[in-house]
Amino acid sequence: MINSNYNSSYSDISIVIPVINQIKSLNILLDKILNLSLKPNNIIIVNSGDENYSNQFQDNRFEIPILYHHEKQIAYPGKARNIGVHLSDSKWIAFLDIKTLPHQDWLKQYIQLIKLYNSDIIIGVTQFSASNKFQKLIRAATYGKIGHETVPGTLITKTLFLKTGCFLENVRMGEDIEWKDRVHQGQFKIYKPNIPILEYTGLPNKFIITIKKYLISSFHSSKINIQRNIKDAYLTVSLIFSAIIIPKWNYIIGGWDNNPLYIPNVTKIFLLSTILLLLLIQIFNRLFSRSTIETYFSKILKIVVFIFVTVGVYRWNAVIANWMEEAILYFPHVTKIYVGFVITLSILYRGLFKPLKRKIKPSFLFPFRWIIIGLLGLCLDLIKTPGYLGGALTAFLHSERKTQ
C-alpha cells in the first residue's frame, strides 16, 4: 500500500530481488521492505534455486503484493534481474539483493531526489557492515566505511532500464559493475546521493571463504572485460607475446650486432616503452575516461612492468656492476632491499592509506592492527592474479571458437 501523501506518478514502483533459495535472508529483507516509509506497489522475487517457495507467498499476510517467479534453471543475478524487470508492469524499478538491506526512508528519499534533480536514475549507495573481528578486518582492507555505488538500491524507470541494454546474463559476478559502467557512459541524468542509505551484511567471516570469493570474482570480472571488447583480448595477447619475444630478440635473430635486424638495448627500450604506455593510460583514465572497469590490457601491462622491474633489480649487480663490489653502482643485497621495499609499501598503502581514506578510525588501525590489514589486503591482491589470467584466457578462447 502506498502512502497517499505522495504523488501517484512516483508511487508506481516494483522492487526486483534475485535469489537462489536463501529463504531465511529473504524473510529478513522482506521485513525491511514492509517497514519502508514509502512502500512499493509490489515486490518481484525471482528464485532460480532448486527449492520452490511459491506457497509461502500466496496468502494475504503480506501488506505488499508479491509476485514470485521460480526459474527452473540456474539464473545468475543479471538474468534474474532482467526476468524480474520484464515481469513488472510498474513505471519504476528498484533493485535489492538478499544481503543489502534498505534504510526506512530509502524509497521516500530517492523519489524526492528524482523530483529535486530531475534525474533519470538514482544510484544506490551502500555501506558495508561488519559484525565480528574478521569482517571488520576485511572491511578495513577493502570497502571501508564510506558509501559505494551499487545496483542494489538503484531506482530507474523500466523504459530507461530496457534502453540501457539490461544486465549481462552469462556471468556469475561483475554484471552489476559492467551495467553501472555502461550507464555512466550513456547520456542519462544520474544522481548519486552523498549519504549511504543501504547496508550490506554479507561480508565473508572466514579467510578461506574470502579467498574463494575474490578468486571467483576476479575470474568472472576478467571474462566481462574480454567480452566487452575483443580488441582488449588481442592487445593483451600481443603484450604477453611481445614480453616473451622482444627481450630475446637479438638472440633469436642470431648474429647479434652483425645482423641488420639487431637492436641495441632492446630490453631496456621495451621496459621504458611499457612504463611510458602505462603512465599515459593512467593519465588518460584520470582525465578523460568515465569507465569504472579497468581493462584487462592495463592490468596485464602493470604485471608485465612489475615483472621486468623485478627481474632488472635481481640482475642489477650482474649486469650493471659486473659483480664488482668496488663499483659505484653496485648495491649489496639489492634484491632483498627491493622485495622488502615493495612489501612494506604495499602494507602501508593497504593497511594505512586506503583505510584512513575510507574513514576507518585511526584507533582501530593502531598500534599494530594496520599491519594485519595491510597483509590481508596484499593477499587479496595476489589472489586476484590467477583469477584474472584464468578468466581472460577462458573468455578469449571462447570468443575464438565463436569466430571459427
pLDDT band at 58 (very low <50, low <70, confident <90, very high): low
Mean local confidence (pLDDT), 109-117: 92
pLDDT for res 203: 93
Q: How confident is the model at residue 235 (pLDDT cuts 50, 70, 90)?
A: low
Q: How confident is the model at residue 130 (pLDDT cuts 50, 70, 90)?
A: very high
Tell me the three state secondary structure of residue 254.
coil
* Residue, of 229 and 69, whose pLDDT is higher: 69
- The DSSP output letter for 246 is G
Q: How far apart are CA 32 and CA 198, in angstroms?
A: 11
CB 316 within 8 A of CB 328: no
Q: Which pLDDT tens digit goes with each residue over 176-192? A: 888 988 888 888 889 99
Residue 122 has which C-alpha cell? Answer: 538514482
Q: Would you state the pLDDT for residue 56?
A: 73
DSSP, residue by residue, 166-186: ---SS-SS-HHHHHHHHHHHS
Partners of 100 in beta bridges: 200
- Residues above pLDDT 90, as percent of the chain: 39
pLDDT of residue 8: 43
Report the percent of the chain where pLDDT is more than 70.
Answer: 83
* pLDDT value of residue 5: 41
Q: How far is CA 399 from the centre of its chain?
A: 22
Weakest mean pLDDT among 21-35, 254-268, 343-357, 365-379: 254-268
Is the per-residue pLDDT at 39 higher than 60? Answer: yes
The residues spanned by each domain of the chain are 8-203, 226-403
Who contacts 353 (Cβ-Cβ below 8 Å, separation ≥6)?
A: none
In the predicted structure, residue 298 carries a pLDDT above the cut 60: yes
How much is the mean pLDDT over the chain? 82
Mean pLDDT in residue range 228-232 = 55
Picking from 158, 198, 171, the residue whose alpha carbon sits closest to that of residue 42 is: 158
For residue 9, the model assigns a pLDDT of: 36
pLDDT at 225: 57
8-203 to CATH, choices 3.90.550.10, 3.55.50.30, 2.40.50.100, 3.40.50.720: 3.90.550.10
> Which pLDDT does position 30 carry in this prediction?
92
Q: Does the structure show a pLDDT above 70 at 60?
A: no
pLDDT at 304: 79
Model's pTM, two decimal places? 0.76
Q: How confident is the model at residue 6 (pLDDT cuts 50, 70, 90)?
A: very low
* The dihedral formed by the CA atoms of 368, 370, 374 and 375, expressed in degrees to the nearest 10: 30
CB of 70 closer than 8 Å to CB of 52 = yes
**Residues 238-284 pLDDT 10s:** 777 777 788 788 778 777 777 788 888 787 788 788 888 878 877 77
Contact 147, 386 (CB under 8 A): no
